[in-house]
């Protein structure tokens, strides 16, 4: 039976506040990868941009006004992050695509193989890349590890009685974050799953499993962290 997994690693946890690479996280991902490599036909990891991407965007936006140009620069950071993670995992067979076409061709032609990718299309978040890869593999779920442990019924930073939500529909997600049917990408929007991606997932019946946050400190094993968090589905 075909078995694939798509895991989005949020940029928010790839670097610390001083923009040092989070090699403690990389070490745990590496262990999970090698422990599970033979269990899947495809392991697809997608890396976000995080603080390094936002920092660079802020510096260049003073002199570069073209929105697509700025997004291309930010996207290149996600691709660099993919290359760093690939090198750290030390598996020479991992494929790192340079274009969306490369990624599609690989996923559609290789019956068993693993890929690490950054963002590959201007106008998409890396959440969207992960969802598109899941769609290409005909797998129904994307896992996302970031600085978010759960989606809450209200902002936990403002309300001590905020309650974690373990299961919600995309419709409920749209209502909570006021997402409209024709919503476009808002770069660096601080929501668990990008609006444009969430609309795509609802149409394609792809779910997102959002986890991370405090679990990154409370639980060592990535496999166990993937069992926590909020499951969003159609």
Answer with the residue of higher pLDDT: 17 or 145. 145
Bridge partner list, 232: 168, 208
**Contacts for 160 with CB less than 8 Å, ≥ 6 apart:** none
Q: How many domains does the chain have?
A: 1
Integer Rg of the chain from CA: 17
Q: What is the pLDDT of residues 166-207, one digit of tens each?
A: 999 999 999 999 999 887 666 656 899 999 999 999 999 999
Instruction: Kindly give the residue spans of alpha helices, DSSP state H, lying in the chain.
Output: 23-36, 50-60, 67-89, 100-109, 126-137, 170-176, 195-204, 215-218, 222-225
Looking at residue 185, which CATH number applies to its domain?
Answer: 3.40.1160.10
CA 82 to chain centre: 11
pTM of the full structure? 0.95
Domain that residue 159 falls in? 4-233
pLDDT at 51: 86
């Amino acid at each position: 039976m075909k078995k694939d997994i798509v895991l989005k690693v949020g940029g928010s946890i790839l670097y610390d506040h001083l923009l040092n690479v989070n090699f403690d996280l990389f070490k745990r991902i590496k262990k999970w990868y090698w422990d599970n490599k033979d269990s899947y036909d495809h392991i697809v990891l997608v890396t976000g941009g995080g603080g390094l991407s936002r920092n660079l965007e802020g510096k260049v936006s003073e002199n570069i006004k073209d929105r697509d140009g700025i997004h291309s620069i930010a996207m290149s950071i996600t691709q660099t992050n993919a290359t760093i993670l690939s090198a750290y995992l030390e598996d020479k067979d991992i494929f790192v695509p340079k274009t969306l076409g490369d990624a599609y061709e690989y996923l559609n032609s290789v019956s068993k193989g693993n890929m690490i990718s950054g963002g590959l299309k201007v106008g998409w978040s890396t959440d969207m890349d992960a969802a598109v890869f899941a769609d290409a593999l005909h797998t129904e779920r994307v896992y996302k590890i970031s600085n978010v442990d759960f989606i809450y019924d209200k902002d936990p930073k403002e309300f001590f009685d905020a309650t974690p939500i373990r299961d919600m529909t995309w419709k409920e997600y749209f209502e909570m974050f006021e997402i409209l049917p024709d919503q476009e990408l808002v770069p660096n929007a601080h929501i668990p799953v990008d609006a444009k991606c969430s609309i795509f997932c609802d149409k394609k019946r792809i779910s997102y499993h959002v986890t991370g946050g405090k679990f990154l400190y409370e639980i060592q094993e990535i496999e166990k962290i993937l069992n926590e968090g909020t499951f969003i589905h159609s």
